[in-house]
Amino acid sequence: MLMSSQHNNNHKENNNCVRHHASVSRNRREKLNNHKSVNLWFTGLSGSGKSTLAHAVEEELHKRGCRTYVFDGDNVRYGLCSDLSFSVEDRSENIRRIAEMVKLFLDGGIIALTAFISPLANDRKKVRDLLGEGNYLEIYCRCPLEVCEERDVKGLYKKARAGEIKNYTGISSPYDEPIDADLVLDTGGGQSLEECVEIVVQMLEEKGVLTK
């Protein structure tokens, strides 16, 4: 699909844009919010609990008065990335667009939570490099494929096994298991949702994103 590569190149070649530096800075926004902005990047197989955990963490942060927003994989595909397929190239473009959007939210002083399979390690590294050290916290929702298939909330694994869906991660498309994630959670049943939320919040306190 040529559209992805065209998008990827054009944003680098546009010499008619001049970056505007706002007087209200990220630092001022963070002080107003009483917390730092950061990206929590939840990655894992479909059915591993990424979205459930991301929204549960957001709920806890909201109760603490934090400014937050969850970018959910399916929701983004309805709008911002509705023109993309699930080919390897378009998956990479999907992640690139999300990363650029998250970068803006971080500048806005917001804690951005992203729940995407993001199967390729190279794509996740590009996000980390784009956002910069300390701005990207990768959280691996580790869950065995067989458990994800048993859950199969959307019935997609069944379709993938039947050959009705191509390029399905874990079945006909690879997933690069993170080897340098900032946090690894056992979402296959070893840790409860409540425990996972507590661990994530504790990490944010330890890293100084939240005040204890």
Residues with a known catalytic role: 118
Q: Are 112 and 105 in contact (CB under 8 A)?
A: yes
CA distances from 63 to 56, 60, 183, 192 (A): 11, 5, 23, 20
* 175 phi and psi angles, rounded to 5 deg: -130, 120
DSSP notation for 58-115 = HHHHHHTT--EEEEEHHHHHHTTTTT--SSHHHHHHHHHHHHHHHHHHHHTT-EEEEE
Cα distance between the two ends of the chain: 48
157-160 long-range contacts (CB < 8 A, ≥24 apart) are 157/46, 157/47
Q: Are 131 and 103 in contact (CB under 8 A)?
A: yes
